[in-house]
Chains A and B, each alone.
Chain A
Amino acid sequence: MVPKGAVIPRLMQVKKNKRLSKVWYFRHIYLFLLPALIWFLVFAYYPMYGIIIAFKDYKYNLGIMGSPWAGFRFFEQFLNDSSFYDVLRNTFSISALKLFFGFPAPLILALILNAVMHEKIKRVFQTISYLPHFVSWVVVVTLLQKILSPNVGLINDIRYQMGLDPIFFMGKPELFYPLVIISDIWKGIGWGSIIYLAALANIDPHLYEAAEIDGAGRWSKLFKITLPSITPTIGILLIFSLSGILNAGFDQIWLMQSPATLNVSEILDTYVLKTGLQQGQLAYSTAIGLFKSLISLILIVVVNNISRRVSDVSLW
């Protein structure tokens, strides 16, 4: 006679075997995960042990583990750094502006493209809007500099022909943020709209048909069907964006900043590079980087929790 309690483990065993046999059946598909797993282990998890440098008085000859411990000295140093508030303020300002203007832009483009009925025109616009994503920031910023240069730039050439004085667009602190936001939107709007277009394509067309029968107009359909249907996608992307709010865009800012705009353009990432690679304070720069990562982690947890409570959207 089988003891009562033995039924559940046996059932579990059966379930487990079933799962394993399912995995075995799809083993070729699962094997395709291997390169990605290796990639994550090698490039994302293995380098993480380097974080220890933030707590060490790092010496080349002693290596990461052999260097003497420094405790939280470098974190204290950063909090007392005269640049601390400026760097943090600039990072948050640029990120918040990018989020405010840059986050809805791909959604709006996706909605516009979705509304275009002519397939060919739609494809042409889509392709044109994707292209800037593949152009590196080096090229984009060089183009900006060429167009906006006070000496050889197109805009200032036109101003010169009109008898106006040249303007040093890239060197005006008050124009720095608008240029950063506009170029960021220009570069990323098309690529960012892909996910929204995919989400829009998944909306059941019957909903629109039913709404039309009920006499809904274009705006009603947008606000009553389209946007609610893609809310989970918008939510997930918003959570990701908020968690990355301290990533103000290293490549772009590094290339665009100059002594004239340094007061408004020095962000955490550029400061890490300067302290680490230019001043050779590797432990200090690691501490700044870790500080940034911790804030991002806290942000993603908080935002995810809030999102889960107020809506059904959450990452976990």
Chain B
Amino acid sequence: MRKYRLKNVLSMSLIVILILVTTTACMGKGGNGDGGTIKSSNEPGTVKDSGTEVIKEANLTFLSAWNGGGAGFPQDQKDNPVAKQIREKTGVTLKLESITTSEVEKLNTIFASGTVPDIVNAPFWSTTGGEGQVIKKAAMEGQLLDLTPYLDKYPNIKRLVTTGIAKDFNEFDLNSPEFEGKTYLIPTETPDGTPESIHNWNYGLFARGDILEALGVKAEDIDTQEELYDLLIKIRDGGFKDIGGKPVIPAGTMWNGWDYGQFLAGWTDYNISDYREVNGKLIHWTQTEDHKARLLYMRKLLNEGLFDLEAFSNTSTTANEKLTTGKLAIFGAQPMLGDLQKTLYKTNPEMQYKLLGPFKNKSGEIRTQVEKPGRSGFPVLFLSASIKDPDAALRYIDYVNSEEGRLLAYFGIEGTHYTMANGIPQWVPDVKKQFDENPDLKRDAGLSYLPGRFIGAFSDSVTWPTPEDEKTEWQKLEESFSERLPIKIIDKISASYLARDWQKYQEFRDKTSSLNFDEEFKRALFAASDDEALKMLDNLQEKFRAAGVEEMAEYVAQKASERDDVGF
């Protein structure tokens, strides 16, 4: 009998365990995790007996929906000096999360599964494609919190949604007419409204200094496609090695081919719309003849062993490995100083990359960053429609965008990390030395995750210009690139927006929604022959023509001719 009872108990226990294990997976709380939990029972604004205002505590989840966006996260997310200070001021603790995959995939996943974290920062380049299109759909379908009723309460956030944004982008994308007057998105990394605060991203081609020296080539002299090709041939045949003694790859990029377009800058037009004026006729960018030349040039580089064959399938890890071992003789992207200063530039300073050119396009214009007075496309913050405590999230964002919050985000704790002199923060010399030598220390102090993802309508370099004698070697190098890569401001409305009034615009969008020009172009790069590649390109362009792209361009040209504030 006893044996039987024991058997019963053991069996039942085992079954209960098995059932618990099986069902645990279905009991997840979703993406919100413990987001929005409110620890204190005090309501915001309630007053203690002593007369001081009690701040309600809240734990919120934050997603940086950027591939590799976690690089700036401190190791101790909760108790780093900056996070502690923000908690004291706002009562909010953030649980930070990021991704190492595609941004669009992540956004679609969180919206489709209803697991939107409390606060999300994601790319928002346009509402007609990519991440912006996904965010717009989610906003219109009730996944994002309407911030309109809150804006008057949070003046710094209100400033962010109205400052440093291009007029047309603001009207048609950020506050799309389909939002019906509601505000869902908070721009970040935007300028403060002055031309000086527009950030120079320093896109270009960078070549290893020691290789250029060995070949007797001046970086500034390489500014055409032909000169680049000749240089790559010399590098390929020059027997140059990386730091491991293996042959270099003459040219390459970072992850997923970013940014191979720098190798084709000779065919780049520096404009603000999807349309080009060719021989007096307006054509959509997909229809330009330049694509043939671009395609054949890239194919030549790939076929002649001048370009990294794996560039388009590079992960961030493999790309970084190539970059930091000097494997790439020339790479196209931004200067990548954050990665290089800690690695290659420490071990092999002679290899320091130099900016080529800048390149000239076929009209003789040099590589230019085109901007409007205000930014078109930027990272945005949005809140989940199911956030439990939206005020906590907005309090956090508003605080870090206040003068005090920005000082905290960029310089840390006064007295510990910096001191004020004539209203300008000055790093404590020892701290600065440590941070310059090891940027990870700066990150772990909490000084790297806020500026890019939470702060907008602001430029630290304009507000707190670093004295020349305090600039690091890398700051000076970055600035030297900026001096050579001009910014052009075009104060016009992009012609692209005119197409939205075209009667068949939605039909065109539906027909081209599954066409990805860049992906198809990359496929053509690896076609068996030039003829086949050109045929693939022609087929692709034909698909856009069949969808009505020419008629759309005619409509845009006609509408643009009726007004004088439209730019191409």
Binding site for B on A (CB under 8 A): 28, 31-32, 34-35, 38-39, 42-43, 59-62, 81-83, 145, 149-152, 157, 160, 165-166, 168, 170-171, 173, 258-263, 273, 275-282
Contact = CB atoms under 8 A, between A and B. Distances in A.
Contacts of B7: 28
B327 A34 contact: no
Main secondary structure of the interface of A (DSSP, over half): helix
B26 A260 contact: no
A42 B519 CA distance: 38
A15 to B, nearest CB: 27
Interface string B191-235: 000000000000000000000000000000000000000000000
A261 B519 CA distance: 12
A156 B415 CA distance: 56
B80 to A, nearest CB: 32
A262 B15 contact: no
Given A39-B22, A42-B22, A61-B143, A151 B310 contact: yes
Nearest to A152: B246
9 contacts: A34-B15, A83-B514, A145-B310, A151-B309, A152-B327, A157-B246, A160-B247, A171-B309, A260-B309
A153 to B, nearest CB: 10
Interface string B243-284: 000110100000001000000000000000000000000000
A35 B313 contact: no
A208 B7 CA distance: 43
A277 B25 CA distance: 22
Contacts of B105: 273, 277-278
A279 B109 CA distance: 11
Interface of B: 7-8, 11-12, 14-15, 18-19, 21-23, 25-26, 102, 104-105, 108-109, 111-112, 114, 133-134, 137-138, 141-143, 246-247, 249, 257, 305, 308-310, 312-313, 318, 322, 327, 513-514, 519, 522-523, 525-526, 528, 543
A263 B532 CA distance: 12
- Which has the most chain A C-beta neighbours within 10 Å: B102, B143, B247, B525? B247
B19 A151 contact: no
Given A34-B15, A60-B111, A259-B523, A171 B310 contact: yes
A260 B312 CA distance: 9
Given A60-B143, A61-B143, A151-B327, A263 B523 contact: yes
B514 A60 contact: no
B111 A35 contact: no
Nearest to B11: A28
A145 B108 CA distance: 29
A306 B341 CA distance: 67
Pairs of residues from A and B, 6 with the lowest C-beta to C-beta distance, nearest first: A61-B142, A260-B526, A259-B522, A35-B18, A258-B313, A60-B141
A292 to B, nearest CB: 18
B309 A278 contact: no
A263 to B, nearest CB: 7
Contacts of A282: 108, 112
A61 B19 CA distance: 33
Given A35-B19, A150-B310, A275 B141 contact: no
Contact of B104 (A34, A262, A278): A278
A168 B309 contact: yes
A279 B310 contact: no
Nearest to B309: A168
Given A34-B15, A278-B104, A42 B514 contact: no
Contact of A279 (B305, B327, B513, B543): B513
A42 B305 contact: no
- Which has the most chain B C-beta neighbours within 10 Å: A28, A152, A281? A152
A259 B313 contact: yes
Nearest to B112: A282
Contacts of B143: 60-61
Given A145-B310, A151-B327, A170-B310, 4 more contacts: A151-B246, A263-B523, A278-B108, A280-B104
Contacts of B522: 259
Nearest to B133: A280
- Which has the most chain B C-beta neighbours within 10 Å: A61, A157, A275? A61
Contacts of B109: 277
B312 A258 contact: yes
B22 A35 contact: yes
Contacts of A28: 7-8, 11
A276 B108 contact: yes
Nearest to B104: A278
Nearest to A273: B105
Given A60-B141, A259-B525, A275-B514, A38 B108 contact: no
Given A60-B142, A151-B310, A259-B312, A165 B305 contact: yes
Given A81-B514, A168-B309, A263-B523, A38 B133 contact: no
